[in-house]
Structures are given as structure tokens and as C-alpha cells.
Amino acid sequence: MKVSVVGLGYVGLPLAIRLSLLKHSVVGIDKNLGKINLLRIGKLPFAQDEPHLKEYFKKSKKQNNLKFTNSFEGLKTSEIIFVCVDTPVVAQKPDYHSLFSAIKSISKYLSASQIIVLESTIAPKTTRDLIVPTIEKNTGKKLNNDFFVAVAPERIRPNYIFKQLTTLPRIIGVSQEKIIPKLKKVYSQITSGDLDFTDLLTAEVAKTVENTYRDVQIAFVNEIALACEELGVNVWEVRRLVNKDPFKDIHRPGAGVGGHCIPKDPWLLVSSLRRAKLNLIKNARNINDSMPNHILDLLKSAIKLKGQNLKKTTVVVFGYSYVEDSDDTRNSPTQSLVELLTKNKISFKIHDPFVPQYKKIDPYQLLTKSDALVIMVKHTNYKKLNLSEIASLMRTKIIIDGRNLIDKKKAEAVGFLYKGVGNV
């Protein structure tokens, strides 16, 4: 089948490669010419460490059935146009600049009976109230006569992209049932997971709800962590005991919630409503967004306990990406912590083994003569840290553990003052 993928990011590029390996004729479109030029010469513009991405990209290049371009003209002959552009949230409201720029460019070349599939996560009612009217206005075509629309929200996570793309079930909302067979054909090739067909609005709601649900679950355990700190118990032991109950699944407390999904999807859901207040959901967002502040509070109390002057303290922050073993820094909690440290005039250095600007310097060198180590991301590399060596290098021995990376007793055994989220 001839298909196009618009937006070649963490979602679109793997999808385009997957479709090419499935022998479709694919046009990969992105307005960023720099990215297109890199892809044309077989270079990955991002996620170089993503499992399988390099290998599958190379394989797909050999097949010569995936063309990269910044022109939308190539989609004229596509039966399906997958839209995978970013849909960020700014000040708790959807920012659809990329989405509308893509929709307008697609409209210029839309021909007959094409299916536009929205894989980007969008607020409920966006397709019906914004996207379809924009296409009809720009083309004079009519939905379900001249073109069709589907909402098939992506379900991938950096570091597990191909595993999730090829196995997770997919929700597919359709503008008309007659496009189900064609979508069933292509998506049953993409993933071995169930395909659940529904209407456009239900698909939009289900996607925003699934990530909102996760955000509330994480906020719950972050709040329990604060309670455990006050009560003087270890939240991780409480979590272990509670999760022995097979019907419980308490998530992991930590230094905050980042990424391109969880922090924004609750606001997409909230933005679609006029009456329902969703107070629990808004509070959960605020709790998760406050965790970097809590990290700062733990740091300040540790420095005070050690009788140090905050302004003369050097802090080393481990982890800048939003999640372990990934270079993806979107909405990273460490970004918020850095702003707080700067505001409090606390000098800091950052290390991250995956993020280009922070991976070059040796972490032990960075820690030399520093006063506090703040762990924000549980990168696998950090699990091999030599605690006694670090203790001998640091000026003041403080560890603030935002991800339960370090064993508190082992840290204290080599002289650290250890404070972890939910385990102080």
C-alpha cells in the first residue's frame, strides 16, 4: 500500500520504518529539512540508543521503499496518511501549531478517498470540532464522501518503542465504518495486539484517560511518600508490602513526572470540558509537578543538618532525561529542579550518560569536592556507582535520592547523609 507518515519524531520515524519493513511504499514527511537530510544519508537525528532503531533503519534503507522529504506533495497518492506531529501543552492548554500546520499542508494535496489517521494525542472533540472543519474548509471536500479520518493514538515509550509498537493493542476511532477493513489490514500488520475499533470521540477520550490514570496513580504514591517521610517509615517497604496483595499496584514515588505523554494528557482532557471540574486530576498534576520542589527541600534540610552554607554548596545532579536509559528530555523533572537551583543561587553540575551535552565528563570527576549528589533519573549506568569511592571524593557527603537508586544503609555505612523521596 502507498502510505505517508507526517512528522518523523519518536512516533513517526519508527512507524515509517515499520511500514517500510512491512513492504509498504512509504513517504516520510517532516518540515525540518535538517532532519530530512540526515535521514536521507542514513543518519538518525535522535534516539541513537533506541533498541532496534538503528538496525531496522538500516534494513529499511536497503529496501529503498521509504522516501524522506519535506514536501507534502508526495502524499497525493497515499491511501493512508498517518499524522504523528507533536501536540504539546502550554500553560495547561493544547498547543496545536504543529498539528494545524500539518493538516493545512495535507489539505493542499488531499486527493480522493484518502484516510487521515491521527496518531498524535489530541484533546477530546479536536477531530470533530477542529481538524475536520479545517480540512473541509481548505479543500471543499466532505468528510466520509471525499476523505475519511481515524484517531489511532500512539502507544509507545522511549526505550521500548519497537517492542510496544509491534505488540501493544491499539484503539482506532473511525469517521465511518467502511474504512475499518483497510485500517484493520495495516494495523494488524503493525501490531500483534488487539485492535479495538470505536468512534472518533471515544478514541480521543480513551487515550487521554489512560495517561491521566497513570498520572493520578503516580501522584497517589508521591503523596504517600510525603506521609512516610513524616512518619519515619520507608515508602518502598510500605509499597512492597501493599503490592503483595495481588489486587494492588502502587506505582513508584520519585523526583517528578516528565515525558511527552503523562504530564500533558491530563490537561488535554481537562481542556475539553466546560462543566466537569476534575479536581482530583488537577491536584494530581500539581502534586507530581511539585516533586522537584520537594527534592530541593530535602537538599536544603540535608545541607542545614551538615552545617553547610547553601550559597557555598556545589550540587551534582545525576540524570537530565525524563526517564531511565533514554535521551528524551521532554518535560524532564530535572529541568524544573535546575530552575529552582538557579533561583536559589545554588551552584550545580549535571551528568547524564544519554544526553549529549551532559554525557562527556566522568561522573566521579564531577563529584570531586562537591557537597551533594542529587539523583533524578535511575539510569542503569548509575547502579554500578562505587559509593565508597564517591564518599572519598566528595567534600560533604550528602545523597538526595529521587529514584530509590541507592541503598540507604550502604550509603550511611560509608558516611553519607542519605535522604530519599519517602525514605529519609
**Residue 289 interacting with ligand SAJ (CB under 6 A):** no
Please give the full DSSP string across 298-320, using - where no structure is assigned: HHHHHHHHTT--GGG-EEEEE--
Q: How far is CA 16 from CA 110, 112, 142, 215, 384, in A?
A: 19, 22, 28, 29, 36
Distance CA 283, CA 192 (A): 37
Which span sits near ligand SAJ by CB under 6 A: 66-74, 107-115, 234-242, 258-266? 258-266
Task: Supply the minimum distance, in Å, between the C-beta of residue 214 and ligand SAJ.
Answer: 5
Per-residue binder mask for ligand SAJ (CB under 6 A), 189-218, x = binder: ---------------------xx--x---x
Pairing mode, if any, of strands 398-401 and 372-375?
parallel
Q: Which residue has the cell 487515550?
A: 207
**The one-letter amino acid at 8:** L
Q: Is 137 a catalytic residue?
A: no
d(CA 197, CA 177) in angstroms, rounded, equals 9
From the list 290, 270, 289, the residue with the least C-alpha distance to 278 is: 270
The residue range among 71-79, 152-160, 238-246, 360-368 that interacts with ligand SAJ, by the rule CB under 6 A, is: 152-160
CB 30 within 8 A of CB 12: yes
254 binds ligand SAJ (CB under 6 A): yes
- Which C-beta is closer to ligand SAJ: that of 8 or that of 262? 262
- The active-site residue, picked from 261, 264, 397, 419, is 261
Annotated active-site residue 282? The verdict is no
Residue 9 lies near ligand SAJ (rule: CB under 6 A): no
In angstroms, rounded to a whole number, what is the distance separating the alpha carbons of residues 27 and 3?
Answer: 6
Out of 35, 84, 207, 264, which one is annotated catalytic?
207
Task: Measure the CA dihedral 28/34/40/42, to 10°.
Answer: -110
| Interface stretch with ligand SAJ, choices 36-44, 125-133, 173-181, 251-259 (CB under 6 A) | 251-259
Interacting span for ligand SAJ (CB under 6 A) from 187-195, 254-262, 267-275, 335-343? 254-262
Among 18, 155, 351, 397, contact with ligand SAJ (rule: CB under 6 A): 155
> Rule CB under 6 A: is residue 251 a binding residue for ligand SAJ?
yes
> Among 29, 89, 156, 200, which residue interacts with ligand SAJ (rule: CB under 6 A)?
156
Please name the helix (run of DSSP H) or strand (run of DSSP E) that holds residue 81, with its range, or none.
strand 80-83
Show the cell assigned to 126: 479536536
Q: What residue ranges bind ligand SAJ (CB under 6 A)?
A: 154-157, 210-211, 214, 218, 251-252, 254, 257-259, 261-262, 322-323
Instruction: Give the catalytic positions in this structure.
Output: 207, 261
